[in-house]
Amino acid sequence: MNRPVVRTIAALLALIVLALLVACGDGYPRADRPSDRRMTASTHLQLLNRSLAAKKRKLTMRDACHLVLSKPGAARPEGVLLPLRSTSVVVATDSETGRFLVKLVEVANGKASTRLRLAVGEWLDAVAWRSHFQQLQMRCAATQASTPPG
């Protein structure tokens, strides 16, 4: 091949590669990218409850800053109250099974108690669960910040 043809082909390939890089700069089209902030509280709850279904547990919103963890048919049907402001999500690994764990740990009066221990198969599932829970916590904080005192 002669040099002008090789240069033209190289220039065209470079333009094609550049166009592809610009079109998908972060590897995911912006319009299709999921956004936790655009989800409603009920959507976050639905996604959290998918993982809980296998344990026959369910989270419901009591108000903007409290969830109720219940187990239908349990001796305590009213469930466990989870204050979003004092509950932390911990992602860990089960040393026996190697599965990922999501734990909800509430700190009250200086004492930590595990309110939920959920085994999930993949790290991504554990991180997604934590993210959805934290989005509800951020909504709670925003609600409290926007409420005038007194």
pLDDT score of 82:
93
pLDDT digits (tens, 9 = 90+) for 72-128: 776 666 788 999 999 999 999 989 988 999 999 998 888 999 999 999 989 999 999
pTM: 0.71
pLDDT average, residue stretch 118-147:
90
Kindly report, residue by residue over 28-82, the tens digit of the pLDDT.
555 555 565 678 999 999 999 998 988 889 999 999 999 999 987 766 667 889 9
HEC per residue, the chain: CCHHHHHHHHHHHHHHHHHHHHHCCCCCCCCCCCCHHHCCHHHHHHHHHHHHHHHCCEEEEEECCEEEEECCCCCCCCCEEEEHHHEEEEEEECCCCCCEEEEEEEEECCEEEEEEEEEECCHHHHHHHHHHHHHHHHHHHHHHHHCCCC
